[in-house]
């Protein structure tokens, strides 16, 4: 997991930022061209999909930054 930590962090940040930006820009009428297919599902499902992107990104960031080996390497 250690070698994929940076890649998983990058993907998590990208998903989170893309989700937040698509919701914020959607409020003023601007849409990302590659996410317009979500709006064909309906406004509610598109919003739920964007929220799922944000949650998945946060989970990916959490998993990438977690230490699951059980070693407590924290220094105070």
35-44, Cβ contacts within 8 angstroms, sequence gap of 24 or more: none
Residue range 15-42, pLDDT digits in tens: 999 999 999 998 998 988 998 998 899 9
Q: Residue 4's pLDDT is what?
A: 80
Q: Residue 54's pLDDT is what?
A: 97
More confident position, 20 or 70: 20
Please answer whether residues 19 and 57 qualify as being in contact, where contact means their C-beta atoms are separated by less than 8 angstroms: yes
Residue range 40-62, pLDDT digits in tens: 999 999 999 999 999 999 999 99
């Amino acid at each position: 997991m250690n070698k994929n930590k940076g890649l998983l962090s990058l993907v998590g940040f990208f998903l989170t930022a893309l989700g937040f930006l698509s919701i914020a820009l959607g409020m003023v009428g601007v849409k990302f061209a590659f996410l317009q297919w979500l709006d064909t599902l309906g406004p509610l499902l598109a919003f739920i999909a964007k929220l799922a992107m944000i949650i998945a990104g946060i989970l990916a960031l959490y998993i990438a930054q977690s230490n699951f080996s059980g070693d407590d390497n924290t220094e105070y």
